[in-house]
Amino acid sequence: MRIDILTLFPEIFQNFLDTSIVGRAKNNGIVEVNCINIRDFSKDKHKRVDDYSFGGGPGMVISPEPVFNAIMSAKSERCKTIYLSPKGRTYKQQVANELSSEEHIILLCGHYEGIDNRIMENYIDDEISIGDYVLTGGEIAAMVVVDSIVRLLPGALNNQESFTDESHYNGLLEYPHYTRPRIFNGFEVPEVLLSGNHSKIEEWRKYQSLKVTYERRPDLLKEAKLNKTEQEMLNT
């Protein structure tokens, strides 16, 4: 997969892209990530990329030309161009799953009052918000998107890091985990986990997963596809 990030602040991404699972996936050729500085496409002698808003009002708007040229420099035949903004559709695991099967995505990060709307209207395929709050720019949102997609790519996680049991994978929150010591500050690990009885452990985990989802996110249960055993557990 290829991901191009168009930003005015490429330096924000440096450590993030070279660290942990994303860094490893890049080194292993599972994903190619490029940061493209929108300012490099400014024709202004001072490399300005913003201007006043037509109609007046405070705040600067990013001019369409450098953004358009940056998009064109990255574009490929089968790519999806996504703008990160608080006005976009809300980002969920389901969206990460969808995007992880794309061949090439371009993530456009906005700043100031946003980007000239003619870019949105004509050159953007999708607009994503990572939540109902306003960030100073789209960069952190782009990192959230990259991180959540890369870990889904085949080969990005090893067996120990498998995502099939974790929160949101099957529409539920994940069961709790424990490691050594068996007693910590007087608090014990649940007995069943030490029993070696794998079907009992699996049943306990399924129950815990349903319980925590019921207690914290009952909204998720409405959407989750539960089998008969899970339905029964939930009704007890």
Residues in the chain: 236
Binding residue for ligand ADE (CB under 6 A) from 130, 150, 172, 173? 130
CB distance 99 to 149 below 8 Å: yes
CB nearer to ligand ADE: give 3 or 84. 84
Dihedral angle over CA of 106, 107, 112, 115, nearest 10: 40
Q: Quick one: 130 or 172, whose CB is closer to ligand ADE?
A: 130
Q: Does 8 sit near ligand ADE (CB under 6 A)?
A: no
Q: Is 110 annotated as a binding residue?
A: yes
207 marked among binding-site residues: no
In angstroms, give the least distance from the CB of 144 to ligand ADE. Answer: 8
Listed residue (108, 96, 115) closest to 72, CA to CA: 108
Show contacts with ligand ADE in window 70-99 (CB under 6 A): 84-86
If binding means CB under 6 A, how many residues of this protein chain bind ligand ADE? 11
Alpha carbons 233 and 145: distance in angstroms, whole number: 34
Closer residue to ligand ADE, CB minimum distance, 65 or 127: 127
Minimum CB separation of residue 44 from ligand ADE in Å reads 24
Q: Which of 11, 70, 2 has the alpha carbon at shortest distance from 38?
A: 70
Q: Is 189 in the site for ligand ADE (CB under 6 A)?
A: no
Amino acid at 125: D
Among 67, 81, 124, 138, binds ligand ADE (CB under 6 A): 138
| 115 in a known ligand binding site | no
Task: Kindly state the smallest distance separating residue 45's Cβ from ligand ADE, in Å.
Answer: 29
**CA 88/CA 3 separation, integer angstroms:** 19
Residues 227, 12: Cα–Cα separation, whole Å: 44
Closer of 66 and 110 to ligand ADE (Cβ): 110
Minimum CB distance to ligand ADE smaller for 70 or for 145: 145
Which bin fits 30, alpha (ψ -120 to 50), beta or left (φ > 0)? alpha
Q: How far is the CB of 105 from ligand ADE (least distance, A)?
A: 15
Dist. CA 211–CA 205, nearest whole Å: 10
Instruction: Compute the least distance from the CB of residue 134 to ligand ADE, in Å.
Output: 5
Cis amide linkage into residue 176, ω under 30° from 0: no
Q: At what angle do helices 228-235 and 198-216 cross, to 10 degrees?
A: 60
Pick out the residues of the known binding site for S-adenosyl-L-methionine: 110, 130-135
Residues making contact with ligand ADE (CB under 6 A): 84-86, 129-131, 133-135, 138, 141
